[in-house]
Amino acid sequence: MTPPSSWAPGAGEWSGAGPDLVTGAATLRALHRPGDPVVLPNVWDVPSARAVEAAGFPAVATSSAALAETLGHADGETAPVGEILDAIARIVRAVGVPVTADVERGFRLSPAELVERLAAAGVAGCNLEDSDPATGAMVDSARQADFLSAIRAAARSAGVDLVVNARIDVFLRSTGTHDALTDAVDRARRYLAAGADCVFPILLDDPATVGAFVGEAGGAVNILGRLDGPPSVAELAALGVARISFGARVHAAVRRQHADLLVVLRRPAAVTDPTGPASASLQ
């Protein structure tokens, strides 16, 4: 991958449109306020990122599933890492706010190489999950904590900052045979102690359980928001959540709207006057 900037390890400089690496990370980290969460409608390309910025959101977050699908790949680290990072770099260059990237479990890169390539892309933060993207198996919590600690050490060694959002997959991968909340809280504490800035128990959205998790985790909490019902952003804020993201849900909603439009356009009666207002609005 050709780096999209003049950044080199230890330089701490970024020549893209947004803030430099250190300032961008500091800005993003400061947005994580329990009770006043940063809301991140995840993006998948430059137009969606520009739309999020234009709507007034203070940061941009990518969705691994949506971005991979846009590039013609399935989620789960099936896409070439260079394609993913190039797409992320284009998003970074296109906006003037910090960008945090979902990079699954790091595409099997070493911590040092992952940090170097994220810095070259210009991102301020990243999501890292604790299940194997290929098999769905949960990674041992101590092993994942060591991985997160190595990411933090690599960033420090490279002279860059990185906001690490540690995804916890126990509610996604749960078999129902163990106490998912207890496991999630234990993982949250380990990951925060290892240097994560925020923990993300994906698919946890029951208000009572969210409140319990927030109260016991010991740090900033990210919850996956819903587009079609409770809990609302206001309700999650009242529970002390610090970050609300939407994964691939915004992309899926856009795709549904696109499919509905195609159904209308496929009907012969849908286009009666090619010069009329409806036609003009689609040009």
pLDDT category, 114, cuts 50, 70, 90?
Answer: very high
For the cut 80, the answer to whether the pLDDT of residue 9 exceeds it is: no
Where would I find the beta strands (DSSP E) of the chain?
Answer: 38-40, 60-61, 99-102, 125-129, 163-168, 198-201, 220-224, 243-245
- Calculate mean pLDDT across residues 221-237: 95
pLDDT in tens, 242-271: 999 999 999 999 999 999 999 999 986 655
**What is the per-residue pLDDT for 11?**
37
> Tokens representing 53?
């910025």
Average pLDDT of the chain to the nearest whole number: 89
**Which residues, in sequence order, are bridge partners of residue 243?**
38, 222
CA distances from 211 to 29, 34, 61, 181, 214 (A): 22, 12, 24, 11, 5
- pLDDT the model gives residue 1: 34
Band the pLDDT of 57: cuts 50, 70, 90: very high
CA pair distance 219, 118, nearest whole angstrom: 24
For the cut 50, the answer to whether the pLDDT of residue 283 exceeds it is: no
Q: How far is CA 217 from the centre of its chain?
A: 20
Task: Work out the burial of residue 46: count CB atoms within 10 Å of its CB; fewer than 13 is exposed, 13-18 middle, 19 or more buried.
Answer: middle
Phi-psi region of 69 (alpha: psi -120 to 50; beta: other; left: phi over 0): alpha
Q: Kindly state the percentage of the chain with pLDDT values over 90.
A: 82
Higher pLDDT, 239 or 271: 239
Q: What would the pLDDT profile of 11-55 be if each residue is shown by its tens digit?
A: 334 444 556 767 899 999 999 999 999 999 999 999 999 999 999
pLDDT score recorded for residue 18: 54
Whole-number pLDDT of residue 267 = 85
Q: Which CATH class is domain 21-267?
A: alpha beta
pLDDT of residue 167: 98
pLDDT tens sequence across 174-217: 776 579 999 999 999 999 999 999 999 999 999 999 999 999 99
Query: For the residues 100-108, what does the mean pLDDT come to?
Result: 96
